[in-house]
Amino acid sequence: MSELQPKEWGPVAALPGAAAAAVLAWTSWCFTAAAAPSVTVTVAGVGVLLLAACAVYFVRVGGSGGFFGTLFLALGLLAAVATADQTTARGEVATCVVRDVQARNQESQGEGPASKTVYRLALDCPGGYPAELKDGPEAEAGAEIRVSYDPGRRVSPAAEGGTSPWTAGVCAVVLLALSTGLAGRRRPAA
């Protein structure tokens, strides 16, 4: 087994950060631009960036480190997309009446809480939008709730103050750091 030479390791180690910057720039532009592309183009763009970064990383690092590094890279880039979504300004706030509540228990696999209750709220809002919150707070039918939304409908509405990018952002940083660390590990000789 031979170590990556410093001149080889530098570009590979920089790949997770560069890929994350490209994904963040693309998704931020898609979520905020006045003439943003369609959802199909947005998702295709993220898919192309993610697959290209993962393919280059896997080929350059190789071995089990390349496999796990590629996995961490892909998950880190998806967490970066979630961060961009959660940091996108939802410029309007409406006071809506909860028309219907659907509660569903979501079972957990592995460690952690045994289950989580997910609430889907059907809403009556001024102007008719937003019509629902897919992962809303606990509420009863007839209650009023303040909802932040993007009038351009590029990002999903959320309960006012309900989106925090910290969890997704920290996950992205940790996963990308693990991917970068694995790039510096040994790889099989070619």
Residues 46-64 have a mean pLDDT of: 91
- Average pLDDT for the chain: 83
pLDDT in tens, 129-183: 889 988 778 888 888 999 988 887 778 888 887 667 888 889 999 999 999 888 8
Between 22-36, 64-78, 107-121, 164-178, the lowest mean confidence (pLDDT) is in 107-121
Confidence at residue 138, expressed as pLDDT on a 0 to 100 scale = 82
Q: Are 179 and 76 in contact (CB under 8 A)?
A: yes
Provide the β-strand partners of residue 142.
Answer: none
Q: DSSP readout, 86-155?
A: HHS---EEEEEEEEEEEEEEEE--SSS-SEEEEEEEEEE-GGG---EEEEE----TT-EEEEEE-TT--S
Query: Could you tell me the residue ranges of all domains in the chain?
Result: 6-89+166-183, 92-159
Residue 40 corresponds to which amino acid?
T
Distance CA 138, CA 7 (A): 54
Q: 6 pLDDT exceeds 50?
A: no
pLDDT of residue 55: 93
pLDDT at 76 over 60: yes
pLDDT at 161: 74
Q: Which helix (H) or strand (E) holds 158?
A: strand 158-159
Q: How confident is the model at residue 113 (pLDDT cuts 50, 70, 90)?
A: low
Whether the Cβ atoms of residue 119 and residue 139 lie closer than 8 Å to each other:
yes
pTM passes above 0.75: no
What is the structure's pLDDT at 70?
93
